[in-house]
Structure 1
Amino acid sequence: MIFGRVKPLDAILATAEKKGLSRSLGAFQLTMLGVGAVIGTGIFVLTSEAAQKAGPGMMISFVIAGFVCAVAALCYSELASMVPVAGSAYTYTYAVMGELMAWMVGWALILEYAVGASAVAVGWSGYFVGLMNSAFGITIPAALAVGPSQGGMINLPAVVIAGLVTWLLIIGTTESARVNAVLVAIKVAALALFIALTIPVIKQDEFIPFLPNGWGTIGVVGAASSIFFAYVGFDAVSTAAEETKNPQRNVPIGLIGSLLICTVFYLLVSAGAIGAIGAQPVRGLGGEILSPGTPELAQRCAQIVASGLNEPLACSKEALAHVLRSAGWVKVGNLIGLAAFIALPSVVLMMMFGQTRVFFVMARDGLLPAKLASVHPRYHTPHIVTIFTGIVVMVAAAFLPVGKLADYSNSGTLFAFAMVAIAVLVLRKTDPDRHRPFRTPLIGLVAPLAIFGCLGLYVKLPLVAILVLPVWGLVGLLIYFGYSRRHSYVGRGITDVPELDPDAPPLPVPPLPGAPTPGDKQA
């Protein structure tokens, strides 16, 4: 049976027990972990995207996206506390719904991590270009600063930063907890400064009309689908469940608390941006609605700037810095740009690192060739899979706008989160007596809300982003049935596969029956 290959949960849990991580995190530490993981990329990068779709109504969009994240996070936490090993949603699905669905989730996570890294790289590029122009008077030509859909040829800064991060991952440079804490502090301080300056100068007239495009795909719910990207990262709290004191109490406090703090932050930032310079969508000469990331919007924005008017928020590639500069705080705007310049590359690094981790776990299960995770003889890093990931990130960042990349990433993320919610429901029915360090409260309500919430946001993505997931999934199925199904450990009856450190490469793949033993040394 296609759905019959389930990775034994007892074997996974036995592996987790061997790790013996101490339970030391309290509710406050979990909450701060979540705030640090969530705040940053989306709010810096996608505010202009949300303005074009929803105008001032983007404030409601942040609430909708935060709510869907909250119910999904509660489901995520139950499985994370039960199956505290590498692979996150992929591993959970393998243990509950079988190999095929696990493969599809793992394949979708590539959209979340690799395409998400491309989106952050493009967002960083916008701040870099603006900072160079405003602070140093260096103008980077549009042909080299944006992709073809926005009137350029290639987004060179985005390619450069993605290439630099790839190189850093190959030579083995990783962030320490201390460096990451400093970067989180920079991001939070920048947003707090933005709020402190813009809230006192809010003009109520800028909020009218509040819902210029209504509730549809180009409207409030469509904006929520896009800025869902601003909340991705909360799973850092879920995956820390095994290191948490009293997880039944502290995990929901950490999850809901961090999401609530982030949502309040986002509401204050969006209110400040709207009230300071306005956030009405840019319309065509005939009054028609223009979609974000299209040549038509780029052309209209260029016309507005050429006429001598201030660039609208929806046109900006560096939304928060642009707001402050337009409101008269040019130097502070440059500081915000500098904060994004410093902090966002670390997000690219973490997403690309997360991508290699997913590849590791899938290769360790035999679903991908172990050769992909071969270790560099000098740097002792998985250079092949890192280079492959880096090339994908660089190509996507070179030619696609940030909003489209975020939408593509969201399609994979929403699918993975929905599958986790389904897995929680299935496991409650099939194995109700198994120990759960954290139990999702009101599972009959929370899990369906997560499933339908993810589905609702998915169908409100732009059509191309909706189609990306099934097309990507079809490619994944071809690979699965062409290679992975035959080489799967579980399919070949090999269930006792040692679980290495999550950052380590996979073990050698046992040879297929009748096949020669490989001579190459595998990682």
Structure 2
Amino acid sequence: MIFGRVKPLDAILATAEKKSLHRSLGAFQLTMLGIGAVIGTGIFVLTATAAQKAGPGMMLSFAVAGLVCAFAALCYSELSSMVPVAGSAYTYSYAVMGELMAWLVGWALILEYALGASAVAVGWSGHIVGLLDSLGVHLPHALSVGPKIELGFIKGGEVGGIVNLPAVLIVGLVTWLLVIGTKESATVNAVLVAIKVAALILFVAVTVPMISGHASNFHPFTPRGWGNPFGSEGVGVLGAAASIFFAYVGFDAVSTAAEETKNPQRNVPIGLIGSLLICTIFYMLVAGGAIGSYGAQPLMNPATGKYFVEGSPELYASAACHSATAPLVCSKEALAYVMRQVSTPWLGDIVGLAATLALPSVVLLMMYGQTRIFFVMARDGLLPRKLSTVHPRFKTPWVVTIMTGGVAALFSAFLPVSSLADYSNSGTLFAFAVVSLGVMILRVKDPSRPRPFRTPLVWVFAPLAIIGCIVLFMSLNAESKGVFFGWTAIGLVFYFLYGFRHSNVARGVVDGDEDDDITAVQH
């Protein structure tokens, strides 16, 4: 039976037991790790999207998304401390809820990682184009944005666009780096984290003091209301929270470090909640600074009397977006743009340069995460074995890396960042909800199994995490929900045509060695 195909937890744990990681991380180190992993892409890229959806109310959106993420993070930590091996939510689901659910989670994670990488690449493109424009170098519009397209649920692009060439080039570069096995050193990563955090501190220091002189920028505070989770527009405070959720992805860096943590019962929740709390406050300060210094009211179409759709061709083609003092919602590099408008151009260039330097590393990490999931699924037999092929010279999973790069490049070439982030979030929210459900199921099925970290008040926080993920998922626009369900349907077809018959569990092949090949890969 499909639902009886559970990958034995003991076989998975046999892999973890082969590792002997030194427990050295304390609460402070975990908190810093979380801050470095979380702050970046979303705040630099999606502030304009949030402003068009919620106006000044996007400050509340950051708080809502951070709260839901905190609930999910506590659940994630329990499973990651019990099953500290490759595969993330996919592996946890396989051990707790069986093969079909594991497949659905793994398939959804493709949306999270591959399209997340595409979203970051498009965000990087906006920053490099804006930075070059500020320096007097102008890339043709047709080669910096995708064309206007409407293919079923997938819509986006701009009038006059052909292909987002910078986004494609950065994905190609990252794919090449992953194939040859070049990885970021801890030192380089630390420097990039410091650069992006310093840029945000600079932004807050310049813009927050301006709030007192521009109180009117906060009125109306929620021009589009709280939003309707059962509607199709995906706007308002909840709609913006569903998009902004992208800005918090990365906290799993804390939860997956559970087995390297001293006293994980105490330090993991401190690291998780501490990093998420600091990031949420940071995000709200940045949003408040942007609103107070320049304004963040959503833009309305004067011809129809209705608000523009965020990131739409109509928005970017409007007269307001072509003025010298275009609203925040028109910018593809929101924070750098605000700094140029309210301060001096060179300060805006510093913020833009910081994002330009830091965002490629996020593309790399997301694409690496995707190749890791693909690799484990192929090793489990759910995907063709060929995908797990390791390059004879570079010792990297080159087939899945090139395939992932191709998908990421394709979507980054033609779609706007707002759409890509929402598509990515739909997969992430599904995976987080399943993990939260898995924690409760395992508490009932196997209550005596050792848990280095136990989710506090699990029967409160896990249901709240699931409810929060559902509310945010429903608050996405109809386009994003349609992409998720369409993608899931394609995944089910593929599973029953291939994975159902070829999986290791179906063939009775069960062992604890699958991670050996992964650790042999340079990463």
TM range (shorter): over 0.9
Residues 231-267 of structure 1, C-alpha deviations (whole Å, 9 max, x = no match): 0000111111111111111010000000000001100
- Whole-Å Cα distance in 1 between the matches of residues 255 and 469 of structure 2? 18
Indicate the percent of aligned positions where both proteins have the same amino acid. 68
Following superposition, the deviation at residue 327 of structure 1 comes to: 0.5
Please report how far the alpha carbon of residue 328 of structure 1 lies from its aligned counterpart in structure 2 after TM superposition.
Answer: 2.7
Runs of 4+ in 1 over 3 A off after TM superposition: 501-506
Structure 1 residue 296 displacement after superposition: 1.7
1:146 maps to which residue?
145
Per the TM alignment, residue 501 of structure 1 is displaced from its structure 2 partner at its CA by 4.2
Take 1:153 and 1:214, find their aligned partners in 2: how far apart are those partners? 36
- Gaps (5+ residues) in structure 2? 148-156, 228-233
Distance 1:79 1:155, change over 3 A: same
Q: Is 1:248–2:256 an aligned residue pair?
A: no
The two structures have a TM-score, normalised by structure 2, of: 0.94
The yes-or-no answer on 1:52 pairing with 2:52 is: yes
2: CA distance, partners of 1:330 / 1:145: 22
- In the other structure, the counterpart of 1:118 is 118
Whole-angstrom CA distance in 2 between matches of 1:73 and 1:443: 12
Instruction: Please list every run of 5 or more consecutive structure 1 residues that lacks an aligned counterpart in the other structure.
Output: 507-523
1:208 aligns with 2:207: no
* C-alpha contact 1:374 1:505 (8 A) present in aligned 2: no
Is 2:307 the counterpart of 1:292? no
Q: Which moved more, 1:137-146 or 1:55-64?
A: 137-146
Quote the residue 1:236 is aligned against: 253
The Cα of 1:299 is off from its aligned counterpart by 1.7
How far apart are the structure 1 equivalents of 2:485 and 2:446? 31
Which of residues 181, 184, 209 in structure 2 aligns to 1:172? Answer: 181
Residue 13 of structure 1 corresponds to which residue in structure 2?
13
Cα distance, 1:309 vs. partner? 4.4
Q: 2:501 aligns with which of 473, 486, 510?
A: 486
Encode CA deviations 1:25-57: one digit per residue, 9 max, x unaligned. 110111011000000000000000000000000
Distance change (3 Å), C-alpha of 1:501 and 1:267 = farther
Q: Which moved more, 1:147-156 or 1:352-361?
A: 147-156
Tell me, yes or no, if the aligned pair for 2:226 and 2:238 is still in contact at 8 Å.
yes
Encode CA deviations 1:113-132: one digit per residue, 9 max, x unaligned.
00000000000000000000
Q: Which residue of 1 aligns with 2:98?
A: 98
Q: After TM superposition, give the deviation of residue 500 of structure 1 in Å.
A: 2.6
Amino acid at match of 2:223: P
- Separation (CA, whole Å) in 2 of partners of 1:176 and 1:103: 32
Q: Could you tell me how far 1:170 is from its partner in structure 2?
A: 1.2
User: 199-208 vs 265-274, which deviates more?
Assistant: 199-208
1 CA distance for matches of 2:413 and 2:511? 43
Residue 493 of structure 1 deviates from its aligned partner by 1.3
Residue among 258, 278, 287 paired with 1:270: 287
Q: Please name the residue that 1:509 is paired with.
A: none
**In 1: Cα distance, 2:191 partner to 2:388 partner:** 31
Q: Which residues in structure 2 correspond to 1:366-405 (within 5 Å)?
A: 366-405=381-420
Partner of residue 187, structure 1: 196
Deviation at 1:457, TM superposition (A): 0.2
Q: Is the 8 A contact 2:56 2:291 kept in 1?
A: yes
Task: Measure the CA separation in 2 of the matches of 1:262 and 1:176.
Answer: 24
* Other-structure match for 2:230: none
Q: Count the aligned residue pairs.
A: 502
**2:189 aligned partner, one-letter code:** N
Amino acid at match of 1:150: E
2: distance between equivalents of 1:366 and 1:199? 53
SS of 2:182 mapped into structure 1: coil
Give, in angstroms, the shift of residue 287 of structure 1: 2.5
> CA separation in 2, counterparts of 1:502 and 1:105?
22
Deviates more, 1:270-279 or 1:485-494: 485-494
| Residues 1:439 and 1:315: Cα distance change in structure 2 (over 3 Å) | same
What amino acid maps onto 2:261 in structure 1? T
Map 1:329-368 onto structure 2 (within 5 A). 329-368=344-383
- Structure 1 contact 108–473 (Cα < 8 Å) conserved: yes
Q: Give CA-to-partner distance per residue, 1:60-107, whole Å, 9 cap, x none.
A: 000000000000000000101111111010010000000110011011
User: Matched residue of 2:307: which SS?
Assistant: coil
Q: State how far apart, in whole Å, the 2-side matches of 1:210 and 1:440 are.
A: 36
Pair 19,190 (structure 1): closer, same or farther in 2 beyond 3 Å: same
